[in-house]
Amino acid sequence: MLAPSLASAPVVDVRSSTRRARASRASETRVVANVGRIINVKSSTGLGQLRAGAATRRSTIVFAGDDVPTPEDEKARFVPAHERKTLSKILPEQLLEGGVSLADAPAEWANSFTGFLGFEFMSVRTQNFPGLRVLNIDPPIFTVDDFLSKDECDALVASAEASGGLAVSAIGGAENENIRTSRTVALNSHGLENHPSKKAILSRAEYLLPQVEGLSKTEDAFRAPQAGESKWSFELPQVAHYSGGEYFKAHEDSFPINIAAEKGYQRRATILVYLNDVEKGGATRFEHLDVEVQPKRGKALVFFPSSAACMNDARTLHTATPAEDGHEKWVSQLWIASSTPPVPTPEELEEHNKQKAAAAEYAKLPRAQRRQMEKDAKKKEKANNRKR
């Protein structure tokens, strides 16, 4: 779990896939997400304040506690998303302007961010949505303007309100029954099964996320996948209503790892579509990131509550803040889930531990001896191939 002070921690250093940049260096930097690594930092002087890609050192990565690297470190160890205690942010002034527009960003920056998404979270067709704006680099959070049209939003609100099915419900692994006071209705009942806006949300999700393209047209679209199946599914879209003063306290959308293992699947992506404008209150606030998103009709908020390894990313902890009295908020939420890796049998686990122990012993051997063993193994393999 992240330290409570992480969101406000000062930027003290940056991580590179090949080297550490010294904190004393005065030059500004261009931040490029590097596929397979967290962030690659290339020095470049005279870039000025970033508007779409270049960034000052204070906008790169925040470290907390013992995770702060030292300049003496020669190599940066790759840390998977679910283990990271670092944040890669855009500039505060960019955030105030609504984020970084990928359509206006340098191609190198946009392509690198897209590659980073695909490697560590999910593939995203960023080029398909001109209204896509990045609010945070790592963990990745972005919005898409006009994800649903005004008419689609209004129709969904009217139908949910008239359905009579709105009720308080829990989320994921949350055990605190007081975590939320808002009400939801799933779009599989109360006459909402074939609502046009439900189909619109699913089709736009498929257009945005290629790994689930065509999923809504299959029989298993809403069937929970089982561990080891390498399958995707939608959880049934929901519509939620917040009256003035109602809330959804800080929570993660993903399941704790023990619950995900029991279920056989994990929530990989959240698409939250705001169905109305909220003038006062009602923002979605990410507790560790200094990021708040104010509801705007048709806008989608997209983030990834777990990594490609199906491990929950605690950095995405978020809160639905209360709308002020006299105001209300309507949202539609869609979770995309994937099957978790297969659970090994006792025999497979025993074999894995044997191989791990053998590899550890092999690593202790002198380099010359290891090379000779590799040569002998190749000779033996060639000899066996000739016999065949």
Domain ranges of the chain: 6-142, 146-339, 346-383
Q: Low-confidence residues of the chain, pLDDT below 50?
A: 1-69, 71-74, 173-177
**Topology annotation, domain 146-339:** Jelly Rolls (2.60.120)
pLDDT of residue 13: 29
Q: How many other CB atoms sit within 10 Å of the CB of residue 335?
A: 22
pLDDT of residue 330: 93
Distance CA 339, CA 326 (A): 42
Terminal Cα distance for the chain, rounded: 55
Q: What is the pTM of this model?
A: 0.71
The token pair at 175 is: 């055990």
Distance CA 295, CA 331 (A): 9
The token pair at 209 is: 């996320």
pLDDT of residue 41: 31
Task: For residue range 166-205, list pLDDT tens digits in order.
Answer: 776 655 544 444 555 567 777 765 556 677 888 899 999 9
pLDDT of residue 350: 85
pLDDT of residue 346: 81
pLDDT of residue 247: 62
The token pair at 338 is: 């994937």
